[in-house]
Every structure is written in C-alpha cells, then in structure tokens.
Chains A and B, each alone.
Chain A
C-alpha cells in the first residue's frame, strides 16, 4: 500500500447549479499536515464536505487508503478512520462536555476503546476534564472548539479535517489550539487544515494547496512556497 492516505481527484461539487468546486485535486500522505487555503467563497469548505460525505460530488473520485469512498456517508468514513471538526465547532450545546465527547466514540470500533480515548482527550485539554459535567453551550468559543476537536479524536481517527478552526477565536486561543494540533500530529495523526489564516497555516503545515474560485491554483511544500506566489494565487491577481 502506498503511503497516500487520502486522494481526491478532480472533484466538482455543486449546490444545485451553484458551482462551488470546479475541479480540485489533492492528496495527503500518512503523518502529514496539509493546509487548504483560500478566501471566503473559494470552495474550501465545500471540498471538505465533498470528501467528508456530507455532500456527494457531482464528479471526481475520492480514495482513502486506495479504497474508493466517493459519496460514502459520513458515519462510514468515521468508522474507516476519517474524522472532522466542522466549521464553528458545532457541539451539541445542551449536552455536557463529557456526553459530547462520548458521542464521538459512537462507532463500534471506537466504542470499545472509549475510556482510553476519553483519558487521552482530557490529557490534551485538561480544562475539559474540569468542565466534564457542564453543558457545552455555556463554554467559551475556544473551549467549545476544544470539545469539537476532542469529539473528533474520540473516534480514534487516522485523519482529521479541521475546517476554519481559528474563525472567531482570540489570537491567544488560536495559538493554543494550533499548538495542540501540532502535538496530535507528532503523535501520528494525519491532518487537513482548512484555513483563511494563510500565514499561520503555511507555518503549521508540510504542504499547502491554494484554492481560488473552486479550483486548486497553487500547491507545494509550505516552506518553499514564495510569499509573492501565494499572494498571487490567493487574490488571483
């Protein structure tokens, strides 16, 4: 088996005839962090939905560990080892922190290991252990984001997609969360970062893809992408 964990080939994805993704390809190897960057409306989140099972691509193919997963429903993808932290966290606001986390280990594979996974999440975010019995809706934005990350990790994934994790959070909180992302990557997790914060995601990721109007217009090693080229691709100028 190749070391490519996920491969998306020429994805087109629409909302009705609104063409949000107009031919985008990328791949991610085991252990990598890649970032997918672009302005609002570039099609980043739609691309994530198209590979994550919440939106079936109009055309194109997605492979996970060489198995085609195009259009596979999200819960099956979670069982295969692919998990998501959606934009805005989207925690179950009326449920406690612990119940939210436990929801993440709903699949049969993860359920067996629930207690260990919970311990790991509490180690990563000690504040969640302190607030385990508090309803999630009463948490700060940053803490809710931690719950969302913890919930994704509870399914014991190999690959986690983070959608706009820094949106609306205070800079110090963002720094904190990014440090945790690096940490879980060092522990072996493969990570996709979808971001508007270009500088931060370039700094964090191994490779980057820049999207513009539904297409990938630039890609390469994050450390080797020239500022000018990124700017040009990002703004399309």
Chain B
C-alpha cells in the first residue's frame, strides 16, 4: 500500500511551550488510523498541525507526495484534507443539505451545479438523506455528528480527520458511528481518528498510535499497542517504590 501522509520530525509549539518536540510517522492509504493519549499528549495539536491551523517550527508534512507543511487550511482542504470538530457547529439556520453544500462548493471549490449530485450521495452515505431538509439546529447530537462528517466529506477529502466523534454519545450511538466509519473505509478514504474511548479505537482502527507528551510512544496493531506496558503506564501511572 502506498503512503498518503508522511509526518517527518515535526516540532510544534505555542509560544515558548513546546507541545510536540519531534514526531514522525507515516499513514498508509485506505487505512483507519486511531490516535490516543492522555490529556496533554498533543493529539489536538497534531490535528491542528495536519490541518494547517498551526505551522510546525521544524519538520515536514508530506501529503500525497506534496510538501504541505506551510500551506494554509483552505489550500489543504482543496488538496483533500477534511476534518470534523469535537463540538459540531453546523450552520444551524440552514438545512442539512445546505450545510453539506457549503462544504462541497466552498470547501472543494466546485460549482453549485456540480456539487449538488455529490451532496446527495454524501447524505445517503452518512444516513442523513431522509433528513436533508431539516434545519441543522434541530438535529440530535448523533445526527449533528453525522452532519459534521457529511460536511467534511462534502469537500471530497482523501484523508478524513475525525476529532472525538464518539464523545457524548450512548453506547448504541457509538456503534452507529463505528458502522459509518467502516462504511466510509470501504470507499477507499483514509481516516485519522482521535478518540478517548479505547474500546472503540481498538475495534475500529487498522493501526493505533499512542502519543504521550508530544512523542510517539507506540504505533502499530491496535491490540498490541494497548498491551504495551509503556502505553498502559502513561494512562494508569507508574507504581511507586
């Protein structure tokens, strides 16, 4: 399988506070990669660096063979990097369909005419087609999370970054999200998924990456990652004398 994303020794800091002091890993095309780590591990900062909200002070990010390290978010979106946010903030006064259309036109740079059939397809894929005329502000949390994914898909990404899409949902709803991700994977899209619910991560990802204090602690098979002593220690603490 080919490498679609290459993170090469990136350093990220907010002012003088170094969050990521050198991080490298590759993502294979078509895989679902899970990112876990305790509070302050640098997960969100990594996401922000990938999407262009923060520019690394050192290192490179290569996407689909192109150096995107210093590109702004909109350019990255055009190239095929889409993301969802932890707290969905749809345009509440617009319908579900219109929300996705915004992503498909402004995000992907399509004309409205060309974007329309694509939006319909995205809505069907995310299970929102029946609710396409509902105002986004009237959706349940689960459907807002679906819409968050649909909006990102509207931009026709090659890589979809998911930020805690399972948070705040019931167990049954989490399974719905897991099913949706499994369906999306079948379309060949690459997914990078940050989530705290370890069980969901182990069951839904091809590879699991554990971060701690901005460094890569373990990257590999999800079960093996969770069995790793160092990973367990960053979560559970270390036995004292």
Contacts and interface: CB of A to CB of B under 8 A. Distances in A.
A76 interface: no
B41 to A, nearest CB: 9
A213 B39 contact: no
B174, B196, B226, B237: which has the most chain A beta carbons within 10 Å? B237
B239 A231 contact: no
B40 interface: yes
Contacts of A235: 198-199, 226, 235
A40 B196 contact: yes
Contacts of A230: 236
Contact of B226 (A41, A199, A237): A237
A18, A22, A213: which has the most chain B beta carbons within 10 Å? A213
Interface in A120-153: none
A213 B237 contact: no
B39 A196 contact: yes
B38 A213 contact: no
A130 to B, nearest CB: 28
Interface size class of B (residues with CB under 8 A): 20 to 34
B169 A19 contact: yes
B217 interface: no
Interface in B196-214: 196-199, 202
B39 A199 contact: no
Nearest to A19: B168
A168 interface: yes
Contacts of A220: none
Contacts, number: 64
B238 interface: yes
A231 B232 contact: yes
A200 B38 CA distance: 16
A168 B40 CA distance: 9
Contacts of B140: 17
B235 A39 contact: yes
B168 A20 contact: yes
B170 to A, nearest CB: 6
Interface size class of A (residues with CB under 8 A): 20 to 34
A168 B39 CA distance: 10
A40 B141 contact: no
Contacts of A20: 168
Interface in A170-200: 196-200
Contacts of B226: 235, 237
A217 to B, nearest CB: 11
A108 interface: no
Contacts of A42: 196
Contacts of A18: 87, 141, 167-168
Nearest to A236: B199
Contacts of A203: 240
Nearest to A16: B141
B164 interface: yes
A209 interface: no
A211 to B, nearest CB: 12
Contacts of B239: 199
A184 B40 CA distance: 30
A41 B236 contact: no
A162 B94 CA distance: 43
Interface in A204-237: 213, 230-231, 234-237
Interchain residue pairs A-B with the least CB separation, the first 7: A18-B168, A199-B237, A41-B196, A236-B199, A17-B141, A197-B237, A198-B236
Given A39-B198, A40-B196, A42-B196, 11 more contacts: A16-B141, A17-B168, A18-B87, A18-B141, A40-B38, A41-B196, A197-B237, A198-B237, A199-B236, A234-B235, A235-B235
19 contacts: A19-B168, A19-B169, A19-B170, A20-B168, A39-B196, A39-B198, A39-B235, A40-B38, A41-B197, A168-B40, A196-B237, A198-B235, A199-B240, A200-B237, A203-B240, A213-B197, A235-B235, A236-B197, A237-B202
